[in-house]
Structure formats: structure tokens, C-alpha cells
Structure 1
Amino acid sequence: MPPTARVREWPVRTPRALVVLLHGGREHSHGRPHRGRLTYLRMLPFAKELHRAGERHGLLVWLLRYRFRGWNAPELDAVADARWALAQARQRHPGVPVVLVGHSMGGRAALRVADDPAVRGVAALAPWLPAGEPVADLASTSVLIAHGDRERWTDPRLSFEYAVRARDRAERVCRFDVHGDNHAMLRRAAEWTALVRRFVFGVLRIGPWDSELARAFALPAPDGLRVPLAGVRA
């Protein structure tokens, strides 16, 4: 049988919104992802925190597992799987707004499918965004990009360049520099997790926008695209 994408679900009684988490991968690989790989495991703390904080608000959480580990141009397998997940969301929960949270290759895939009408926001964490990466139609989408300054796998300069271009296309864009952290997002894990939670809640209007995010969105470029991430926040 051909491989299929899958979602792991953290269910709620009555879904009112959906977060889809997209893990990282490799540029070229037709190997199968599995739950023991670090790229998949790294998304679990985000899923658990979003479920913990969002369950009472009807926030359904999915973690997508791709068919293949690779981006695999020109097939763009990760993009195809992300669109499959959005199609599943429409079928199972029609009309429910979606926020995408992607790490590395998953951030790139999330931004590629942000033109889906259900998508309200994208959080791209340490995203892999090569030079000239196309900017999707983001007219009704809020975009958060965050990148560690000790990054060795993906280029923070390119995520900044993407953010500059995205500001002409998206409803709102901000970008944070996470000082002292690298691609694994482990040294300041609590701050990464809190930032994603605050962004998701703001996009879905589960309370007002967090003040740090509101300020970052309001700042003009380049200041609003190089905001130092603050310490742990509730």
C-alpha cells in the first residue's frame, strides 16, 4: 500500500478551532517519518500545552505526520500532506478556523498553504525559507516568524527577508529573534511554547492580543521583524 499522511489528535468535546502542527524534515528523503524521530517529538510540547490551555475553549489540536521525511521538490510532498490535513479539517469540522504551527521544513510547508481559506494564522518556528521562497496569498492571515540567533540549520537572514516581503501580503506579520537558542528550540523551550500559545490565542480571539505580540505587529520594519523575545510569560 502507498504511504499515507496521518494526524495525531488531542480531542475536545465541541471543536471551535483547530491547530495543526507540522514537524520538520529533510530536503530530500523518501524515508518514512515515525513518532520516535526528534523532529516529530519536538512538536509534542507545543501540542500538549495548546491542548492544556485551549481545551476549555474548544481548541482541537492535530499533529501531522507526513508520508515522507523530505520536502522532495518538485513533488513538494510536505505541502501536499499539509493540504491533505486541511482537506480533512474541512470534511470533519466544516467552518472551523485553523492556525498552522510549523518548525523548520514544517514552517515552510505551513506558509505555502496559508492561502487556504480556513487558515487564520501561521507560526513558523526556525523556518527553512530558501532565497526567493514565494509568498502565498496571506491577505486574511496573521504570520509569526521566530528564529534563534545561534541557528546553524536554517538561515535567520532569509526568514527576515521573507518577513519583509510578507508584510506586503499578510494582514499582519511579526518576527522575533530568540537570543541564545538554536534550531532545536530547547535552551529557551518555555519561551517558544508560550509565544506559540499567545499567538494562537490572539489569532483565534481567545481573549485580547498579548501586549508583546501587539507591539511587534504595530512596529514598522525592520524593528517589528527583529523583536527580541522576552523571558517566560504566563
Structure 2
Amino acid sequence: MSKVQSWFLDKKKPKAAEVPVDDYVEHVDDYEEPVVPKRRGRKPKSKNTSSSLVVYKKYDACGYTRLPECAYDMPQRPRVSAAEMAKELTGLAFEALSAKDLAWYDVASFLNFRVLYTGELEVRVRFAGFGNEEDEWVNVKRGVRERSVPLEPSECVKLSVGDPVMCFREDEYLAVYGDSEVVEIQRNLHDNTRCTCIFVVRYDLDKAEEKITLDKMCCRPNFTYNKNNNNDNTPSEIPLVESEEDRM
């Protein structure tokens, strides 16, 4: 169970009186979250460059997804205020799944939360880099998790075929981060400052495959080696293939 979900479960009040949704939602204007690096909705930035970033509007690629009917029922009033909830979570960094484009974005703050009659928890999320017009109710279990982290060039050896990763995907309409799976790896010789390996990933959303580099990939905080990496038969050195640049 995730940290944010367990926190909400500890705070919820069972059998609380139901109140209208409109009277329930409250925004915390007097609380400011600490400034955190913005990544979702932006082009990935190399650590060796200082070029400015272009903020992309969340693109409604699949239309608004209608939530289950229980999501429109009267929520239960929580025992604690949104301000208290936000202060409790300041030490953690989260990302949330937007229902508008099914992409992951950094969470700037949690504005409120509610408990559905099914017992499921939802939080009102303010996405980093976006205004209040983009706020969404997000299911805690399915759409909120600790923030994914980028890999260093020297850490590419940790990735194996079949590993789940989050990748930056860009075309003429959108520039978002989505969940995907590594399906093929071409390992190239390189130093610790720049990874030249090529990764083929398959996006969970539409099963499309794409070749990308390490700087467009992020892994989960609890990322572990693939089971094959833990075998006793694993070679001490991973065989590398020279890139075309090295051969010239």
C-alpha cells in the first residue's frame, strides 16, 4: 500500500454524514508547497545543457474519461482539513495520472480529498506548472504514486528487457510522460557522462513501440533489477556493442 493511500486511510472517518460535493471542496490558499523541479509536461532537459524549456499544455488525446458511477456520489466529510493533509505530505514528492490525456504529471499540492461510499479514496490534485483550471479528482490507489526518478548515464546497466519504465513521448500534438515496458536494448560503449544505448519501449496506452535514449526514461523509486540480473549465472561484465560513432 502506498504511503499516501495509507495516510488517507488512517485519517478517514467511517460512517460520516454525507454532504454535497460543491460544499465539500475547499482550496487551500494560505498554504504554499515547497518549490520542486517541474518535469511533467515539459521536454526532458539534459544535465549538460542550459537551454530553456517549453511548457506544453496537457493535450486531450483520448477525451475526458468518465469515472465509475460511484465517483459522482456524495463524498464523506474527512476528519482533517485539506491544510493539515497538505502539511503532512510535504516531505514526499508525488505524481498523478490525468484522466484527460492518461499521462503522468508532477503533483504541486493536494487540495482536498474525499471517501466514496465504496471506500475508495480520491484526492483533488493541483498539477505542477498548471493553473486551477486543470485541477482533477484522482483515485489514490490507481492514479497517485511517488514520483519517478531519472537514471544516470552510468545506471543504464540496471535496465533489462521487460522492466516497467516511464518515458517521455512527443509528437506534433503532445509531449507527455507515460508508462511503458522495455522490449529491446542495444548497449553501446560510453562513459559516465552520456549514455549512447538505444532502448525500444512499448507504451501501455496504445502498445506503440519507439526507440528512445536513456535521458527520456524514468524508473520507479523502488526500481529493482530484473530477476535475470540476480541469477548466479549472470556475467560480471555486460557485453557491449560499439556504436557507429565509435567505429568511425
TM-score bin (small chain): under 0.3
The alignment's TM-score, normalised by the length of structure 1, stands at 0.25
Would you tell me which structure has more strand in proportion to its own residues? 2
The alignment's TM-score, normalised by the length of structure 2, stands at 0.24
Would you tell me which structure has more helix in proportion to its own residues? 1
